[in-house]
């Protein structure tokens, strides 16, 4: 069966990123490594960043196709899902180190990488049985993205066979995040009765228009 050119381009990006800095990788380099023309490349992806998005979708798919998350609690299941994600990323660690080095030097890259993380982690939350919908879901999602970024940096430096440092950092971040979400939910429940009269007034005013 003929190889998917999109997958070939993703492989080319991660291969080149393991060999040299992100800024030194050109679109022509990628097309040449992938064995496609620039026209074919353009049909598949509009930019290097979009190819990186293709890589994150590849990792998402590997994790989501790996079966149900293990653990009785949602927190344990999320821990399992995220560790599976690190396992799926392991073959690409040198490339991800170079990409991270570039991102730390380029502030304009951080919002785009944060959006990539949000897109992926939304599915990781759902795989663990946690909703990412609504205001509280959005809070959980962004909080998880920040936690993921911190643990990702620990993982990059963790060369141990058992990933003990990574697991310890992930455990701490999930504990901190769980506590924050619980406090936020309690505050929302306390404030909700106070807000109801104002919401009713707003509804009555708007109904006149």
For the domain that residue 189 is a member of, what is the CATH number?
Answer: 1.10.357.10
**187 band by pLDDT with thresholds 50, 70 and 90:** very low
Distance between CA atoms of 159 and 183, rounded to whole angstroms? 35
**166 band by pLDDT with thresholds 50, 70 and 90:** very high
Query: Which of 96-122 are b and which e, b meaning 16 or more Cβ less than 10 Å from the residue's Cβ?
Result: bebbbeebeeeeebeeebeebbbebbb
DSSP string of 24-57, one letter each residue: G--HHHHHHHHT--HHHHHHH-SSHHHHHHHHHH
pLDDT (mean) for 112-117: 93
Q: Are 141 and 118 in contact (CB under 8 A)?
A: yes
The pLDDT assigned to 200 comes to 55
Percent of the chain topping pLDDT 70: 84
Q: How many domains does the chain have?
A: 1
More confident residue, 103 or 178: 103
Q: Are 110 and 118 in contact (CB under 8 A)?
A: no
Q: Are 147 and 178 in contact (CB under 8 A)?
A: no
Query: Over the chain, what is the mean pLDDT?
Result: 87
Least confident of 119-128, 146-155, 185-194: 185-194
Closest CA to 112 of 127, 125, 99: 99
Does the pLDDT of residue 184 top 50, yes or no?
A: yes
Does the pLDDT of residue 209 top 50, yes or no?
A: no
The pLDDT assigned to 190 comes to 53
Does the pLDDT of residue 183 top 70, yes or no?
A: no
pLDDT (mean) for 56-65: 96
Q: State which residues form the domain around 113.
A: 5-206
Please give the C-alpha separations between residue 21 and each of 93, 98, 141, 156, 158, in angstroms, as whole numbers.
Answer: 14, 6, 30, 16, 21
**20 band by pLDDT with thresholds 50, 70 and 90:** very high
* Residue bearing tokens 């690190």: 86
pLDDT (mean) for 165-178: 92
pTM of the model: 0.83
The pLDDT assigned to 177 comes to 78
**182 band by pLDDT with thresholds 50, 70 and 90:** low
Counted residue by residue, the chain has a size of 209
More confident residue, 48 or 179: 48
The pLDDT assigned to 52 comes to 97
Distance between CA atoms of 41 and 5, rounded to whole angstroms? 8
Please give the C-alpha separations between residue 22 and each of 13, 99, 153, 193, in angstroms, as whole numbers.
Answer: 9, 6, 18, 52
Distance between CA atoms of 76 and 124, rounded to whole angstroms? 12
């Amino acid at each position: 069966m003929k190889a998917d050119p999109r997958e070939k381009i993703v492989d080319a990006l991660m291969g080149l990123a393991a060999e040299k800095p992100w800024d030194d990788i050109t679109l022509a380099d990628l097309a040449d490594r992938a064995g496609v023309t620039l026209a074919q490349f353009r049909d598949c992806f509009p930019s290097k960043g979009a190819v990186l998005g293709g890589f994150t979708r590849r990792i998402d798919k590997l994790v989501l196709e790996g079966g149900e998350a293990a653990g009785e609690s949602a927190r344990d299941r999320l821990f399992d899902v995220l560790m599976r994600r690190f396992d799926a990323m392991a073959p690409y660690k040198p490339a991800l180190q170079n990409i991270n080095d570039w991102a730390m030097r380029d502030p304009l890259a951080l919002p785009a990488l944060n959006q990539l993380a949000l897109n992926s982690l939304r599915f990781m939350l759902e795989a663990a049985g946690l909703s990412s919908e609504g205001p509280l879901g959005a809070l959980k999602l962004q909080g998880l993205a920040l936690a993921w970024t911190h643990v990702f940096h620990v993982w990059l430096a963790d060369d141990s066979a058992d990933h003990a440092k990574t697991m310890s950092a992930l455990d701490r971040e999930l504990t901190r995040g769980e506590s924050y979400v619980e406090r936020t939910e309690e505050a929302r429940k306390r404030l909700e009765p106070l807000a109801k009269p104002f919401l009713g007034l707003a509804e009555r005013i708007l109904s006149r228009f």
